Chains A and B, each alone.
Chain A
């Protein structure tokens, strides 16, 4: 305070230069401008700013953090000091995230990943695969083979699709002791993997089950029926 008294001698401002009035003048101006900037109710703001500067109250109010914190957030111009470009980029990102969240409700529903559960009869645990990582049934077969090493998906036709019209071929496969993959589609039906084009499969598959060929026989006629209806 002594320093300021010295400097006060240089100038005579209107309203005098007594230390007490100085403090009062300063404070009044401050809370006025704060009200303008924060757009808050005058009463709340000026009372909390007094509280902030009252050490006694601070020390005794250790458990009452809310008393000391300013009231509900109103955006202050230029605070926090983040540049416009950055603000725009971050705002864009969060709106993208919103859209992504809505879209990932169903697996494979146009989002970046399509994770589905994979179970194998006799295996003690389930796995998950992201169907979007693969471009074809062959790639999926390779990946599943790695995961469940005792498993092979058999040999597909050149287009990777089971030739449902060739009944004998199909019956051979299903009579073997080899495993075949089946999947639950959007309608809740269990289908043999390979009956539809790859992308369609990715979009409709909800979960995978690798079962013994002999157990899958029950699926085939239904699969053939569905295929006939679709084609």
Chain B
């Protein structure tokens, strides 16, 4: 190309998507070189796919690093403690190599207080820390971040497990810190100093997102809101208090001043009498998370029918079919719906929420793209109706609470219903299956789900044929997670090269033999085949025994060495003995 480097760099600066940048770097050697020097944002979907040193060597001028650690099933206790995902090696290298680093975003990683302190002291211009579903740190680490990061813009602890020693950490933000734009402390349990919180909010004129924790009392919410009328996203604390007209009046007035609020969340321990206080913001709401609010359908309905601009709703199944029907009539802009179970371990329905609610929403909400739905019954006809109504679905996650539950009307498997979903929803990127399913559903998935990137399977299928359909048919598949399915060696060994085109494969309580794992590892040197067996010594196990859990992922970093004793990477060289 005849263009000088600076011109190309300038052009590249408009290319922000990771996939696009990757493609750009493959055009020719000089583009590769230019691109790598001006890449500012890195996303590593599996922290073991590449080493920190490799990342730094190729991209020396990075400002933002995003890493993901544990497999998704770790959210449901399927990944044992000590599995890995340590941030430590990354921060050690980045502290040296990236003095101008501004952003760190981690998901399902183990982060320690020392790591946090190192962050706070290594990067003069550090701005954004997002710890999503992380663990291993305490409020002491947060205190270091608060105290040392002069230009901190965003501190988001969403759903992390934090050792909550005290609420004192918040008081470590110096009076000179006025840069905060986003604070999410909703996962913490300790009470922070209210006056410190109040002062922090008052001196942060750019604060747009504030997600409080449960310990912030409702009586004091109005005080905080009055100091931040520019808020766009608000997460309340506990939403109940002694019924007092003055508290109610203050709250109502404070909410009415928040003209910019578009998103609400929090709502633990809701006392319905206080709900009308939020009515004045409802018409502007695009996002509402009531998934911790144990309020009944009439109260939920009263709120959502006042939110015509709602795009995203998270709610408990207390909403019932009647509430979902109201949703379908009131919220024509709805894009995302998540319905969580209020009592997931009870066999009989405690609420009147069935497949009909979801059908109604699929009919009334023409922009619906993303669904997460927990329910107790489903039918092929409902699934087919939903599929035909909403061919624009991109994410469909259905969890029928009882494993292997058939179509409740016909007692047949739900193959045809899910088949309709993949056939009609041609842009489907994410799918989670449940209910009674045979190999047939996988035949449909392999045939139709060409854009599918992530698939979750549980208690489904009859034989290896099912897995084979998926591995051979799903062209875009990146992440596959399977539990309790009769899938064994054949499908895996017949699709070895497929595995290198994917980020990862998780299989637990299936029928894969230790011998097949070894064979797979020998065939594919750029895969790490990790076997998890908490029961006993892997060395003494015969090759034909089934492995408990299996995690296979592509990597250029070779096998890892930070595993506990019950996890082994299968040898890649059959004659090598460690």
Asked if A and B are interacting partners, one says: yes
- Which residues of A are interface residues toward B (Cβ below 8 A)? 1, 3-4, 7-8, 10-11, 13-15, 17, 22-23, 25-27, 29-30, 32-34, 36-37, 52-53, 55, 58-59, 61-62, 65, 68-70, 73, 75-87, 89-90, 93-94, 96, 112, 132-133
Among the stretches B44-52, B277-285, B482-490, the one at the interface with A is: B482-490
Say whether B73 faces chain A, with CB atoms less than 8 Å apart: yes
A136 to B271, CA, bound (A): 22
Say whether B501 faces chain A, with CB atoms less than 8 Å apart: no
Q: Which residues of B contact A23 (CB under 8 A)?
A: 462-463
A34 to B490, CA, bound (A): 20
Contact B486 A27 (CB under 8 A): yes
Contact A10 B494 (CB under 8 A): yes
- Nearest CB to that of B214 among chain A residues? A89
12 pairs across A/B with beta carbons < 8 Å?
Answer: A4-B494, A14-B515, A26-B462, A26-B487, A29-B486, A37-B484, A52-B404, A59-B411, A78-B483, A86-B340, A90-B344, A93-B294
Contact B490 A17 (CB under 8 A): yes
Q: Which residues of B contact A133 (CB under 8 A)?
A: 243
| Chain B, range 331-356, C-beta contacts under 8 Å to A | 340-345, 347
Contact A85 B187 (CB under 8 A): yes
Contact B488 A29 (CB under 8 A): yes
Task: Kindly provide the distance from the CB of B107 to the nearest chain A CB, expressed in whole angstroms.
Answer: 13
Contact A83 B399 (CB under 8 A): no
Q: Which residues of A contact B75 (CB under 8 A)?
A: 81, 83
Contact B342 A90 (CB under 8 A): yes
> With A3-B468, A89-B268 in contact, do A80 and B374 touch (Cβ < 8 Å)?
yes
Partner of B509, one of A37, A65, A75, A93: A37
Contact B411 A26 (CB under 8 A): no
Partner of B76, one of A11, A14, A83, A90: A83
Task: Kindly provide the distance from the CB of A55 to the nearest chain B CB, expressed in whole angstroms.
Answer: 8
A87 to B77, CA, bound (A): 12
Additional A-B contact list (17), CB under 8 Å, known A7-B491, A22-B464, A61-B411: A4-B490, A22-B490, A25-B488, A29-B511, A29-B546, A32-B546, A58-B412, A69-B405, A73-B345, A77-B76, A79-B458, A80-B341, A81-B76, A82-B374, A85-B159, A90-B294, A133-B243
Say whether B401 faces chain A, with CB atoms less than 8 Å apart: yes
Contact A62 B411 (CB under 8 A): yes
Number of interface residues of B (CB under 8 A): 64
Partner of B403, one of A8, A61, A70, A82: A70
Contact B78 A77 (CB under 8 A): yes
Contact B490 A7 (CB under 8 A): yes
> With A26-B488, A29-B546, A78-B76 in contact, do A83 and B159 touch (Cβ < 8 Å)?
yes
Contact A73 B347 (CB under 8 A): yes
Say whether B438 faces chain A, with CB atoms less than 8 Å apart: yes
A76 to B159, CA, bound (A): 23
Contact A4 B483 (CB under 8 A): no
- Nearest CB to that of B511 among chain A residues? A29
Task: Kindly provide the distance from the CB of A107 to the nearest chain B CB, expressed in whole angstroms.
Answer: 15
A83 to B509, CA, bound (A): 20
- Could you give, for residues 529-547 of chain B, a 1 whenever the CB lies within 8 Å of some chain A CB and a 0 otherwise? 0000000000000001010
Task: Kindly provide the distance from the CB of A157 to the nearest chain B CB, expressed in whole angstroms.
Answer: 24
Q: Which residues of A contact B495 (CB under 8 A)?
A: 7
A27 to B13, CA, bound (A): 55
Contact B546 A33 (CB under 8 A): yes
Task: Kindly provide the distance from the CB of A211 to the nearest chain B CB, expressed in whole angstroms.
Answer: 29
Contact B406 A68 (CB under 8 A): yes
Contact A33 B511 (CB under 8 A): yes
A59 to B407, CA, bound (A): 12
A53 to B472, CA, bound (A): 24
Q: Which residues of A contact B494 (CB under 8 A)?
A: 4, 7-8, 10-11
- Nearest CB to that of A89 among chain B residues? B292
Q: Which residues of A contact B159 (CB under 8 A)?
A: 83, 85
Q: Which residues of B contact A25 (CB under 8 A)?
A: 488, 511
- Nearest CB to that of A63 among chain B residues? B411
Task: Kindly provide the distance from the CB of A136 to the nearest chain B CB, expressed in whole angstroms.
Answer: 12
Partner of A112, one of B271, B344, B469: B271
Q: Which residues of B contact A61 (CB under 8 A)?
A: 411
A33 to B549, CA, bound (A): 11
Q: Which residues of A contact B484 (CB under 8 A)?
A: 33-34, 37
Q: Which of B495, B510, B511, B544 has the most CB of A within 10 A?
A: B511
- Nearest CB to that of A83 among chain B residues? B75
Contact A26 B463 (CB under 8 A): yes
A170 to B330, CA, bound (A): 58
Partner of A13, one of B374, B401, B404, B490: B490
Can you list the 8 inter-chain pairs with the closest CB atoms, starting with the nearest?
Answer: A29-B511, A30-B486, A7-B494, A78-B76, A33-B509, A26-B486, A26-B463, A78-B78
Say whether B465 faces chain A, with CB atoms less than 8 Å apart: yes
Contact B509 A80 (CB under 8 A): no
- Could you give, for residues 386-408 of chain B, a 1 whenever the CB lies within 8 Å of some chain A CB and a 0 otherwise? 00000000000001011111100
A220 to B406, CA, bound (A): 70
